[in-house]
A and B are shown apart, each in its own frame.
Chain A
Amino acid sequence: MYAVIALIVGVVAGLLVHPTVPEWLAPYLPIAVIAALDAVFGGLRAKLDDIFDAKVFVVSFVANVLVAAFIVFLGDQLGVGTQLSTAVVVVLGIRIFGNAAAIRRHIFKA
């Protein structure tokens, strides 16, 4: 419950405050979005599976964002940034989709 409220507060804050994202950070924003979605869906599913753990949630979110950003940064330096971003998006996207499917099965039993 608090988590949902906190999520909404974060979204509204991000929309209202209109922070200027520095240019060097801009390429990593999409990756951060995907990682955030992955963390949110994973946490929700874990909650429904009754194995939610706050520490795992926060640590996995932060670590995923950092690792994904690092991979993309490394790819940019090596000239394969777009390919590595694709890899990150594919892996996290499959996880998001699988978790969403599990949540769906939990809620609708179908």
Chain B
Amino acid sequence: MRLPRFFAKKRGDRRTGAEVWGSIGDGLFHAMLLLAGIAFAALLITGVAVPEWRTHHHFLEARGTVVGKGLARRAVPGQMISTWQPCIRLRYSTAVGLQEAWALLDSPVSDRLMAVAALESTTLGSEVACWHDPADPRVVILERGYNWWMWAMTLLLPGSLLAFGGAGVARTIATWGKSEERQAAAGFLDSNRGEEPTTAARPGVPPCDDLVNSPGTILAFQLPVESGESWTLLGFGLFALLWNAVLIVLAVNAGLDLLGGQIDWLLMGILVPFLVVGIAGIVIFIRSLILATAVGTTQVEISAHPLLPGGQYEVLLGQGGSGSFTSLEMVVELEEQATFRQGTDTRTERVVVWRAPLGSWQGLQLAPGTRFEGRAVFHVPAIAMHSFASEHNAVTWRVVIRGRPTRWPAFTRAFPVLIYPLPPPSGERLLNGGMP
């Protein structure tokens, strides 16, 4: 008897294995998460939801007379720690006659004196509203209500388990025993069998819509900037904002302590490094903001879009701002991007595999209110790879501007362009495909 293989094996052009068996582990893992979620949800329903629902719908209202006061002591097993919970003894009428029982007055606290103080507001012989369980008249409560905060917190764990486990089980069932080709083809390819692909379809080529919706001032289209500068600036700003918000909360607490004549040295010790990081965050954000705005905006326009291999396209560089530039350089690059998992991280590696200079300008002096304009022609190689994008991989073309301002650090700004695959010579499909 041959045992099943859990993973496929590749030998040259052959692959062998049993993908059905390979997906068992994945299915079991998610099924366990789903079961854990169901178990947690069941505990919540029986332990929190049902009791709270019963107090609202089954418990009977009554007027109770306070006949006693006391503290319920709960000791933690194996430790010298106790909690104290204020309670009052109530006498109230039920369907089976007068009843006396203890009702919890407040939350348990570790300080006995605080628990005693909580009892002082209740006087013996006074009347209070209470609710008792008709199924067990000795069970009496002083408050009804839903604890929404606790509900939100307790639903988070089973909700996450149910969603993650359920989605995994559903995915396992949907792909059970199916090859990767069948999964990829699911839904649309069976209906396309025998039909010729349309000449307009370009599988794997990203859409061009976002690159042609902005007309240029001189040439046909203005290209959107791809630079990560804006995101970095936003990240620095958010970090400075959130960090200093926490710092303010801590500082207010420390200030209140000082006003009250107390000094919390632990809080003060935490505040000092927090203050240093907070100030550094603000300084870095302001510096990045100045660098991003001081140099001036860079605009790139192109005479046509998308581009085709073998074509020639005019490119216009517009650099705003004021001050002098040591150099301004415009190049076109072909970049490969690969996204992969490394442990629990998802990483993207980028490599420039081809670069061609378009134009270079030295010793520029920019005046406020005007912009420098430089023109160049991009000759797309006739054998150029077209733009490509799939879920984890991409081949992208972009116009890159590298500037060296005299007073500021150098900057790099990228503007993506799209290259379509070249259409066949006649514009129609080739017809030389018969068997020899």
Q: Do A and B bind each other?
A: no
